[in-house]
Amino acid sequence: MAGTEVPDLVEVEKYTMGYFTKGPIEDAGFEDLTERIKAEGLDKRIVDTRFTMYSSRGRIFALPHDVHPVVLVYRRDIIEQLGINVDELTTWDKFTEVGR
């Protein structure tokens, strides 16, 4: 920020990205990765809302690194006793409905 050299790759706290992209888009100081992300199909393989924090004005300037799988653990004996077929719980809406 004071005319010093910058690294080729950095990790940026996701909530600070707006600080770097608030001025003219060409002055963001980050490489616009939008086309490369689309060409590699990453926009289809990464949860699209995770790009929001690293984007400005429709352009993506960074990749999220904290997207990870989630696991749901349950007691089989109770689920079977209640007659719930977990294979049918394919959405959070279905899960919530059965949970109620």
> In this model, does residue 83 exceed pLDDT 70?
yes
Q: Which pLDDT belongs to residue 2?
A: 60
Mean pLDDT for the stretch of residues 50-73 = 85
Return the CA Rg of the chain: 21
Residue type, 26: E
> In this model, does residue 36 exceed pLDDT 90?
yes
pLDDT tens for each residue of 41-58 = 999 988 888 888 889 999
Mean pLDDT for the stretch of residues 67-96 = 89
Mean pLDDT for the stretch of residues 74-88 = 94
Q: Which pLDDT belongs to residue 84?
A: 95
Backbone angles phi, psi at 89, to 5 degrees: -90, 70
Dist. CA 7–CA 14, nearest whole Å: 18
How many angstroms separate the Cα of 4 from the Cα of each of 7, 15, 16? Answer: 10, 23, 20
pTM (two decimals):
0.60
What is the chain's mean pLDDT, rounded?
86
